């Protein structure tokens, strides 16, 4: 009987020392983020509306009328609209008063992202074979980026992102000195609106976590590559945007290939403000200019605008913003 008792005791002790299984704490499922659906028809209309004014060359009647419309349109989406005016002199010795148009959403928030485009169009058709001295409509070069940003503003007004967003439309981007100019060489003759804003932000001590510039984002089958200034100053942003676009099914537009550096508004934003800013801009290695074949010609009209391309860019930016 003693042996049985000892064995039983050992059995009881052995059973009592078995490790108890711990229950793992259940992870809370991540809240699903609802991202608005970009409306390419709406963006197309906003491009078409700009073009309807005619060439938006600084100081022209078409430019003045379009500025009024842009300001009023943004004010239907947010009360926080500023028109920043400043005197400038262009390479041809002419004096102008530029207008940068700025629409802000949740201006009280410090966590911000800036979205840029230029709203003016080229004053000459220097890459056309005829009528080179006449201004162009700039449906793609200028109009497309603005059209996408107005549609984003419309979406922001319906569903506020968690972060603050500033939409900044630069003036006088496309009044740069042509290669065959008879005027004395003017350094930094391009991107006059972004140069001014970068030195004189619309808000004291303004800063954003990063910026995204849209330029020529509406042509059919456009491809966007890793432009080198963007890569140098904002490689992580570049990767984030391109990965997002590919996950959304827009890989044929957002290509993981390098492109040469392009002097655009983002150069001055990066150099002067320190806000890391990338440029989503069409890059076509098959053309001499590496831009769309209609670039700086009279063929840059509404026939050059494709809703699918506008959608690829607009939906990608929406997804990036609403996941911040």
Say whether pLDDT at 30 is over 80: no
Q: In the predicted model, what is the mean pLDDT of the chain?
A: 93
The domain ranges of the chain are: 36-176+187-322
pTM for the complete prediction? 0.91
What superfamily in CATH does domain 36-176+187-322 come from?
Zn peptidases (3.40.630.10)
CA distance 290 to 293: 8
Specify whether the CB–CB gap between 87 and 192 falls below 8 A. Answer: no
Q: What is the pLDDT of residue 55?
A: 98
Instruction: Annotate 23-60 with DSSP letters as a single string.
Output: PPPPPPPPPPPPPPPP-HHHHHHHHHHHHHT----TTS
Say whether pLDDT at 29 is over 80: no
pLDDT tens-digit series, residues 184-227: 999 999 999 999 999 999 999 999 999 999 999 999 999 999 99
Give the residue from 195, 215, 217 showing the smallest Cα distance to 270.
195
């Amino acid at each position: 009987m003693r042996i049985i008792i000892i064995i039983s005791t050992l059995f009881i002790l052995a059973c009592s020392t078995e490790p108890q299984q711990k229950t793992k704490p259940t992870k809370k499922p991540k809240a699903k983020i609802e991202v608005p659906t970009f409306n390419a028809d709406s963006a197309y209309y906003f491009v078409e509306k700009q073009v309807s004014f005619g060439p938006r060359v600084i100081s022209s009647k078409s430019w003045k009328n379009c500025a009024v419309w842009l300001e009023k349109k943004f004010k239907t989406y947010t009360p926080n609209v500023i028109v920043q005016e400043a005197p400038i002199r262009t390479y041809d010795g002419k004096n102008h008063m530029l207008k940068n148009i700025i629409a802000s959403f949740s201006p009280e928030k410090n966590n911000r992202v800036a979205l840029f485009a230029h709203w003016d169009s080229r004053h000459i058709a220097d890459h056309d074979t005829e009528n080179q001295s006449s201004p162009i409509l700039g449906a793609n070069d200028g109009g497309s980026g603005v059209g996408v940003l107005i549609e984003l503003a419309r979406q922001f007004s319906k569903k506020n992102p968690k972060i603050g967003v500033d939409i900044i439309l630069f003036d006088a981007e496309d009044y740069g000195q042509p290669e065959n100019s008879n005027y004395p060489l003017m350094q930094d003759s391009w991107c006059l609106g972004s140069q001014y804003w970068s030195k004189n932000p619309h808000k004291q001590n303004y800063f954003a976590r990063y910026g995204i510039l849209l330029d020529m984002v509406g042509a059919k089958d456009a491809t966007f590559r890793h432009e080198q200034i963007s890569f140098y100053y904002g490689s992580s942003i570049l990767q984030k945007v391109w990965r997002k676009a590919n996950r959304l099914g827009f890989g044929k537009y957002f290509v993981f290939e390098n492109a040469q550096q392009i002097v655009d508004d983002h150069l001055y934003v990066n150099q002067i403000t320190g806000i890391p800013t990338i440029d989503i801009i069409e890059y076509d290695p098959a053309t001499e200019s590496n831009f769309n074949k209609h670039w700086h010609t009279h063929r840059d009209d509404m026939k050059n605008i494709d809703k699918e391309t506008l959608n690829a860019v607009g939906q990608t930016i929406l997804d990036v913003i609403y996941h911040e």
